[in-house]
Amino acid sequence: MTGNDRPIVVGGGAAGLAACLTIESQGHAPILLEASDRLGGRLRTERMADGTPVDVGFQVLLTAYPELHRWVDLPALDPVAFVPGARIRKHGRWKTLADPRRLPGSLLATLTSGVGTWGDRIRILRLVREACSGSAESVQDGLTTGSTAEFLQTRGFTNDFIRDFLGPFFSGIFLDARLSPPPAQFLYTLRMFASGAVVRPAAGIEALVRQLAGRLERTEVRLGTRVVAVSAGRVELECGEMVKGSGVISSVERRSEVEWNSCFNAVFETKAPRFGQPIIGLLPDAACVTNVHFMEDIQGEEGRGKLNVTALPGSKGVGDVLAMERRVRHDLEAAGLQPGAMLWHTIIHKALPQLDAVRSSLEILRNEAGVYLAGDHVAAPSLDAALRSGRLAAESWMTRP
């Protein structure tokens, strides 16, 4: 197949979709090659045996993501907003820590929670102010040396506050128990949390994919098409076919290019009382569980009696499902969450890329073969970064000399 002004986009995740929509907006007709049988990549919602939708890896949309507003009609996704804060399981009770700036009613509970000291609360407010000042790019391109864990220590947070709140909260976001991402990634994430809402589409995260894919008009989508080699003007498919185009944008990581964080996500039956509002629960004393939520709080009746759990494999690795289930069950029992049958589970080996630095991707990323690069693994581990990288790669292709 040949094409004179038809760029090839490899990978139909968020980055590939944003690239195709950008290219279409200038009147071009890209060819999108996707290895699997569906678009969306890591944005995926499955149905449990009883039909309840469950996201393959618990994920949320932060409405402050600048790129989201370019592409997504949020109200059309019927978003359910999370309470800005968390319930923290300490000494057999749930304590509430919420952002009193946005939830004034939570002030008393937060102040009397016993999580952290007064100094910790002042420090976190200062840090929020710091993260929210200047441009989003300056925050992302800022502090890249050291880890978030080291950064929090240097900012004077007590070990208790890190162990009880910052650690479990951000390890669930980074999918990294050691909080190794650079401070810039932490500050950017904090900025996004502090300046917008945290939502989940009512029908699950894949609703976003349906919305984006539904807007493609000129793109030739080829599913079940695995690319094995790319160069500036053509790609080779697994089946041996060559596809030529007027440029190649690849949102697919080259083998061994980056290391990935993995996670285990499962749904358990539970008889434990739910929170009664959409909020995340943190288990600071747990060995592998980072966060939980009662699905009924977010999905209503269909989520009744179901606890959604995210766990990190740690140094032992994900291993087999039985071993992971045992460890998770132990954590849930210790927290009084009364786990019954495990109704659904998934292991995601390549959940989030480990990056030494996050890039606002303002520079053009092209590899030595002249291929434009996109995907969260070249920018930052988030949906926002994936969408932005796809757009910027497409814009770079369109404005090429």
Ligand X SMILES: Cc1cc2nc3c(=O)[nH]c(=O)nc-3n(C[C@H](O)[C@H](O)[C@H](O)COP(=O)(O)OP(=O)(O)OC[C@H]3O[C@@H](n4cnc5c(N)ncnc54)[C@H](O)[C@@H]3O)c2cc1C
Task: Provide the binding-site residues for ligand X, judged by CB under 6 A.
Answer: 10-16, 33-36, 41-43, 57, 59-60, 226-227, 251-252, 263, 348, 351-352, 375-376, 381-384, 386
Minimum CB–partner distance for residue 40 and ligand X (Å): 6
Pick the closer one to ligand X by CB: 57 or 167. 57
Pick the closer one to ligand X by CB: 95 or 306. 306
Pick the closer one to ligand X by CB: 192 or 272. 192
Burial of 147 (0-12, 13-18, 19+ CB in 10 A): middle
Could you give phi then psi for residue 304, rounded to 5 degrees?
-55, 130
Pick the closer one to ligand X by CB: 42 or 90. 42
The Cα–Cα gap between 174 and 261 comes to 8
Pick the closer one to ligand X by CB: 18 or 97. 18
Burial of 371 (0-12, 13-18, 19+ CB in 10 A): buried
Could you give phi then psi for residue 225, rounded to 5 degrees?
-125, 100
Minimum CB–partner distance for residue 114 and ligand X (Å): 28
Minimum CB–partner distance for residue 375 and ligand X (Å): 4
Minimum CB–partner distance for residue 376 and ligand X (Å): 4
Minimum CB–partner distance for residue 301 and ligand X (Å): 24
Minimum CB–partner distance for residue 21 and ligand X (Å): 13
Sign for the CA dihedral angle at 329, 353, 52, 76 comes to positive
Pick the closer one to ligand X by CB: 60 or 324. 60
